Amino acid sequence: TTERSWSERLREHCRAHHFKNPAWRAISELRGRRTAWTAVVDLGGQSYPARFWYDIVYLEQAMEDASEVAWKVLVQESKEDSTLPGLEREDIMSHHPTNFQPSG
């Protein structure tokens, strides 16, 4: 059996809790002669950054890293409370994130 990706788990969690779909952003930073990349998941007015920076060829891993961070926070919060910190469910429902588009 194939294990579900963190982004799949995050999307499933959002569907189960009636949240809008998460949106991923790529962020780049010039480091010497190389560019490092990371990703952030935006959901319900909150941003969940990946833990690490990656080479561009591993940008998909950066997105999965950010998805893992977001999923773990949301699952823990859903155990404690059914809303995100400082947000009511209606705020999450009205948030319209855009699809992931790598930045230049």
Question: Which tens digit of pLDDT belongs to each residue from 91-102?
Answer: 433 333 334 433
Model pLDDT, residue 77: 86
Model pLDDT, residue 80: 74
- What CATH architecture does domain 20-94 belong to? 2-Layer Sandwich (3.30)
pLDDT tens readout for residues 69-88: 999 999 998 877 655 555 54
Question: Using CA atoms, how far apart are residues 86 and 104, in angstroms rounded to an integer?
Answer: 32
For residue 5, what are the contacts with CB-CB under 8 A and spacing of at least 6?
A: 64, 67
Confidence of residue 2 (pLDDT cuts 50, 70, 90): confident
Model pLDDT, residue 95: 38
What pTM, to 2 d.p., does this model score? Answer: 0.73
Asked if 50 and 92 count as a contact pair (C-beta separation under 8 A), the reply is no
